[in-house]
Structure 1
């Protein structure tokens, strides 16, 4: 019996990676914005649309594509009419269970064979997306008729800067 327990414990430590055992393949990412009811579009690293909805929401995202060291990365676009579009990257990186757990328990098999195929070795960051949407530049229709629009230089598109007139 004692020999069986030792063989079982040794097999479990050699055949499993710590991140695979302790981690999940997906991560729930809460997304919110100010103001609410903004459109959320999540696109993966291959350009595939993963999710489209409104804030606030929570979306389960895959951490790996199932290939060897195939971590997933995403781009979150938050838009609302009258506000500037926000683009937030979500990136995957190795978590503590992969790094430390395999150092102590899993060994090379966990580091190089088991965990690299499983999303459990990754953590998506940021863990939650919170966006405060800034208002777009106010457009004054009179500006095209000789009126004046006052905006910050950083908010003026480059193609319009040649039309600007300095005011003392």
Structure 2
């Protein structure tokens, strides 16, 4: 009976020492960087202004969602299209609160809510892809893109619209 009590205590301690978002989500996310036109060079800087990565679109990069204890990461992405007179354009990619973080109210407890998830950055999430329209004048709004630039995983999530 003592062994069962010790095992139960150990299991309870393990559950309470982790965060719900840490268990279910990630701290680092693969983000597909895409642009119109494709083939644009890009540079990604974090909120401190440090260059995290650079490349040519389309490309998948691994980015951290958290920037410190209870601080979400905010990236500045500078795109430069190919061509002599190409002008660079800046966009912002900001992490959002992960819904699994709220699961700490039920599963992770105060340790997951106040320590583990905020410290690991797992309380935040980033989108699967970031699209920059370098042709149009609007940086926000509805953008229509070709399915050819989507990854296989993104294509699998598409749903038909019947009008």
- Does the residue aligned with 1:24 lie in a helix, a strand or coil? coil
In 2, the alpha carbon distance for the partners of 1:61 and 1:69 equals: 17
Deviation at 1:89, TM superposition (A): 1.0
How far apart in 2 are the matches of 1:52 and 1:107?
A: 39
| CA root-mean-square deviation | 2.0
- The answer for the alignment partner of 2:130 in structure 1 is 129
2:92 is aligned with 1:94? no
The structure richer in helix per residue is 1
Q: Does 1:71 align with 2:72?
A: yes
Following TM superposition, by how much is the alpha carbon of 1:93 offset from its aligned partner in structure 2, in angstroms? 2.2
**What is the CA–CA distance in structure 2 between the aligned matches of 1:23 and 1:5, rounded to whole Å?**
27
Q: TM-score with structure 1 length normalisation?
A: 0.70
What SS does the corresponding residue of 2:128 show, helix, strand or coil? coil
Q: Distance in 1 between matches of 2:136 and 2:115?
A: 49
**Of the two, which has the highest radius of gyration?**
1
Q: Distance in 1 between matches of 2:136 and 2:93?
A: 24
Q: Could you say if the C-alpha distance between residues 135 and 71 of structure 1 is closer, same or farther in structure 2, counting changes exceeding 3 Å?
A: closer
1:49 corresponding residue in structure 2: 51
1:72 shift after superposition: 1.4
Gap regions ≥5 residues in structure 2: 138-163
Unpaired runs of 5+ in structure 1? 137-168
Instruction: Decide whether the 8 Å contact of 1:83 with 1:134 is kept in 2.
Output: no
